[in-house]
Amino acid sequence: MPRKPGAPGDPAPAFPVETLRHWYVTPFGGRSPELDLFQIGINREAIEKNTSLDPGMDRVRVTILGHLRRPVLLDRFFEVVPLDERHPDAFRHSPMGEAVLPEGDEVLRPRDAPHPGDEVVISSVASQRLGLLADSEAFAGVVAELVRRARGTDQENS
């Protein structure tokens, strides 16, 4: 993916690029100690201009373009951190909206760790579709109700 800004003279970040609804592709900019595990940082302006992501609510899947994806139930979801001057180290890795991961991420997935310049796919589809990933109490309530119904059905059949 070529790294170029938008229109001539437009300093706005060019990434992430929405390829499908709620799926974004952006170059990997590097790692930063300012991020915690299971966080992904992206330039704040890039999030606002180029995505429909809500960092306070959305949790995203992060994969490397061309790598095999794990089933959604086995995958980790990342919190989106808007990068600005409050995160100087991470912010310098995302001038055009590149993805920044925490130091140590490569230990958790040594075969799938991205290298600077790799294209990263950020998907908020599950978060958008379910709306429950950000609200663990609501999700727990749904699971509890499903288990309760299953027990009721099993007792009737015995």
pLDDT confidence bin for 122, thresholds 50/70/90: very high
Q: Using CA atoms, how far apart are residues 122 and 81, in angstroms rounded to an integer?
A: 13
Q: Higher confidence at residue 145 or residue 58?
A: 58
pLDDT at 52: 92
- pTM to 2 decimals? 0.73
- In 3D space, the residue among 42, 15, 20 whose CA is nearest the CA of residue 125 turns out to be 20
- Residue 89 — left, alpha, or beta (φ > 0 → left; ψ -120 to 50 → alpha)? alpha
pLDDT at 69: 64
* Residue-range domains of the chain with CATH: 17-133 (2.40.40.20)
- What would the two tokens of residue 151 be? 């027990």
Quote the strand ranges of 84-125, DSSP E: 99-102, 119-123
Average pLDDT of the chain?
Answer: 81
pLDDT confidence bin for 120, thresholds 50/70/90: very high
% of the chain exceeding 90 in pLDDT: 45
Average pLDDT over residues 36-65: 92
Q: Using CA atoms, how far apart are residues 30 and 10, in angstroms rounded to an integer?
A: 24
- Residue 70: helix, strand or coil by DSSP? coil
